[in-house]
Structure 1
Amino acid sequence: MADINPPEEREKAGNRAPKGQARRPNQHNGHDSSSGDNNRGGPRNARPKAANWRRPPHKSFKQAYAAIDLGTNNCRLLIARPSDGNFVVIDAFSRVVRLGEGLAQNGRLSDQAMDRALGALKVCSDKLRKRNVHLARSVATEACRRANNGEAFIERVKDETGIVLDIISAQEEARLAVLGCHILLEDGIGPAIIFDIGGGSTELVLIEPGAPVPRILDWQSVPWGVVSLSETVGKEPEDEHGRLARYTKMKQLVRDSFAEFAERIDQHKAPEQRLLGTSGTVTTLASVHLGLPQYDRKAVDGLIVPAESMRDISQRLSGMSPCERSQLDCIGHDRADLVVAGCAILEAILDIWPAERLGVADRGIREGILRSLMAADAEGYEAQAALRRIKQSGGLR
């Protein structure tokens, strides 16, 4: 098993909410309330090291940093400035692009899917220029890892938008997700699971919580996300019985893929399991749980939900037709066909790690990237300042 623990990072963890209450975002947990939204090879760039942010700001701290996450289903951008040991979001963008549509059958990114993704990335490129971004990192995940034309698409993106996408490994994807959302983990004793349900893959990470960041004990990535799983099991039947049978097949595929991981982590189960999820699936189901008329990030990010409620909602949705699901608040047309696969993955995870409550995070890879960028930049500044002090004292000639 590869070690994907990041170097020690001295970030400020912030306060956690009491059980059953939502943790309200503010600038100290990396978000501004006005910001709105949501294994091939190793990482191409050296993993950035973090640093202590308890210091007076320097000039680059006033500048903007950006993170782009091009997934199998969504393209997301976050632009932020450092603030008091964390960051404040100044711009955000999210668009459903379905880059991995048809990938399970053809092994390639389709022309239409690439065009949709390029359209979203051009919007991101414009925002980077307008915000005068100081430092950015752009990553692509499972769809580009699996597609035999993934590298060619990366070159096209560079030529047409100027954005250089880094196809990260599943290891790096898991590490960034943990770094981006672990501060929302519920207080407790013993190891916990953080998971990320994506469009093309799902990552489960077993962590040992601790300051300043948790230690990763074990992890697993499987090629089942809401897009890949939906396409693999085939078109949704019209009758309820057929839909439920399809849903059962989905859950079994995911459970089978995680079987070895489930055996490895069984010894780590504490009397009270803790579970934190970051994905569109968990934020959508949390919105349904709250009965929201429309998505409200402030109400969802940091919420602690009874696991049984999430199971009940998942099973209810799996029996509905796509048309019936599309009429529900916070699901709509864009998620009506894919949410069932997300529900199946979530239920499989709850079978593996039967926690009584589920923490919900509307943050993940992008926030992890921003923390890494800012910390590495600050560390570089510290090194330069130390060198200047040595020179000024006459200790280096």
Structure 2
Amino acid sequence: MTDGEMVTRRVAAIDIGTVSSRLSLAEVAAGRVLAARKHTEITDLGQGVDATGRFDEAAVARVVEACRTFTAEARAFGAEGVSTTLTSAARDAANAEILLGQLRDLGLVPQVIPGEVEARLTFFGVAHDFPDERIAVADSGGGSTEIVVGSYCERGHELELDRLQSLDIGCRRVTDRFLAGDPPAGADILAAGRWARAQFEAYWEGQPTRPDRLVAVGGTVTTLVAMTHELVPYDSSFVHLRTLSALEVERAIDRMRKLTAAQIAALPGIQPKRAPVMLAGAVVIRELMRAGGYMELTVSENSLLAGAAATIGEVLAGERPTVGWTPELSR
């Protein structure tokens, strides 16, 4: 198919994570997202899941209400296909069906995806900005962090992945497991860092040749940029492909470590609902960078949503999905 014959399609991707529920309304063609707008709600689905192994009914209600709004927006957008993915919290919760059933009642087709698929979708979404460059991509969420090393050949629409892994390290999980105090004790912050670092070091030790560039996605790193530059209101075009240094992450930790969640929520650049997990998220990013030997990373606004949207476009065009996974679509 030539560029002149490319068909542009409107699609919608919903992703239900441990901390946030997100929607992308995208125009896609030839495996690329041409334009997109996003809607994010902090729904905190994973609150308490690490300890109990179960979803809280109030958290489920928050997610369902957000998805009710998302389905209306997708319909108004004229989306030809809608994918609905769920990640770490849904993988962990023994009673995930109470959420899945209500999502089906909204007309959605929810899929709880394994960490490997989550990692592939994220890499596919990010790597379009770095064609033919070998990079490391880290998606640090609420319940897990996916790390992928590889490259994307734009001409052949092929992913070449050296190594990918999903680690059970995320800002909600670390908060619930280590940082119960408000503010948490200094010893607990140190323990959280040691716990995360040991797992990240094990990953990097298995990757003898590390890429020069580390790209990170997720609400923690985008918020760290917003904090650093005191972005009010938030400006995604400023954040996208912005460099975040290890020193800036450390300064953010120092700024938050003795504050309550309410005080963190008042800081410029912070979404108030994200405040309770921001310190833990920053600690996770610091340990990721330390273990990999990175003094800076590149922040991307693209993520699993971009990869999912591009994949929906491939499926609607009758093409083989680049990521090796096929979404089940509602229409």
The TM-score, its normalising length taken from structure 2, stands at: 0.88
Residue 375 of structure 1: CA displacement?
2.1
The separation in 1 between residues aligned to 2:257 and 2:130, in whole angstroms, is: 28
Q: Does 1:276 align with 2:215?
A: yes
User: 1:202 deviation in Å?
Assistant: 0.8
SS in 1 for 2:293: coil
Residue 118 of structure 1 aligns with which residue?
Answer: 64
Q: Is residue 256 of structure 1 aligned with residue 205 of structure 2?
A: no
Pair 1:91–1:313, CA change in 2 (3 A): closer
Asked whether the equivalents of residues 124 and 152 of structure 2 are also in contact (C-alpha less than 8 Å), the reply is no
Query: What's the counterpart of residue 203 of structure 1?
Result: 146
Q: Which moved more, 1:220-229 or 1:308-317?
A: 308-317
CA 1:165 to 1:231, structure 2 compared with 1: closer, same or farther past 3 Å?
same
Indicate if the aligned counterparts of 1:185 and 1:275 stay in contact, CA closer than 8 A: no
Change in 2 beyond 3 A, CA 1:298/1:341: same
Which residue of 2 is the match for residue 24 of structure 1? Answer: none
Pairwise CA distance, 1:308: 2.3
Structure 1 residue 244 corresponds to structure 2 residue 186: yes
Return the letter of the residue paired with 1:204. I
| Map 1:29-40 → 2, pairs under 5 A | none
Structure 1 segments unaligned to the other structure (5+ residues) = 1-51, 382-397
Distance 1:137 1:327, change over 3 A: same
Shift of 1:323: 3.2
Q: 1:133 to 1:314 in 2, by over 3 A?
A: same
Contact 1:220 1:258 in 2 (8 A): no
Pairing of 1:165-314 with structure 2 (within 5 A): 165-185=110-130, 191-208=134-151, 210-211=153-154, 212=157, 214-238=159-183, 243-265=185-207, 267-269=208-210, 273-314=212-253
- 1:218 maps to a residue whose letter is R
**What's the CA shift for 1:100?**
0.9
Partners of 1:207 and 1:216 within 8 A in 2: yes
Give the Cα separation in 1 of the matches to 2:299 and 2:242: 5
TM-superposed CA distance for 1:133, in Å, is: 1.5
Deviation by residue 1:103-150 (Cα, 9 ceiling, x = unmatched): 112111011011111000100111122222211211011111110011
Please say if 1:65 is aligned against 2:11.
yes
> Which residue does the alignment assign to 1:42?
none
**Equivalent residue number for residue 15 of structure 1:** none
**Taking structure 1 as the reference length, what is the TM-score of the superposition?**
0.74
**CA shift digits 1:350-391 (9 cap, x unpaired):** 11212232100112011001111112322459xxxxxxxxxx
Q: Do 1:78 and 1:89's aligned partners in 2 also have CA atoms closer than 8 Å?
A: no
Aligned to 1:142: 88
CA distance in 1, matches of 2:160, 2:37: 31
Per-residue deviation, 1:320:
3.0
Deviations 1:18-38 (A, max 9, x none): xxxxxxxxxxxxxxxxxxxxx
CA 281–234 in structure 1, closer or farther in 2 if over 3 Å, else same: closer
For the residues of structure 2 that align with 1:150 and 1:142, how far apart are their CA atoms? 11
Label 1:222 to 1:115 Cα distance change in 2 as closer, same or farther (>3 A): same
The SS at the match of 1:284 is: helix
Name the structure 1 match of 2:266.
327
Task: Tell me the matched-pair count.
Answer: 318
CA distance in 2, matches of 1:302, 1:105: 35
Secondary structure of residue in 1 paired with 2:3: coil
Asked whether the 8 Å contact 1:186–1:274 carries over to 2, the reply is no
Among candidates 266, 269, 275, match of residue 336 of structure 1: 275
**Alignment RMSD:** 2.4
Letter in 2 for 1:333: P
Find the counterpart in structure 2 of residue 82 from structure 1: 28
Task: Report percent identity of matched pairs.
Answer: 23
- Supply the distance in 2 between the matched residues of 1:360 and 1:75 (Cα, whole angstroms): 20
In structure 2, the partner of 1:369 is 308
Provide the rounded CA distance (Å) in 2 between the counterparts of 1:341 and 1:373: 33
Please, which moves more after superposition, 309-318 or 227-236?
309-318
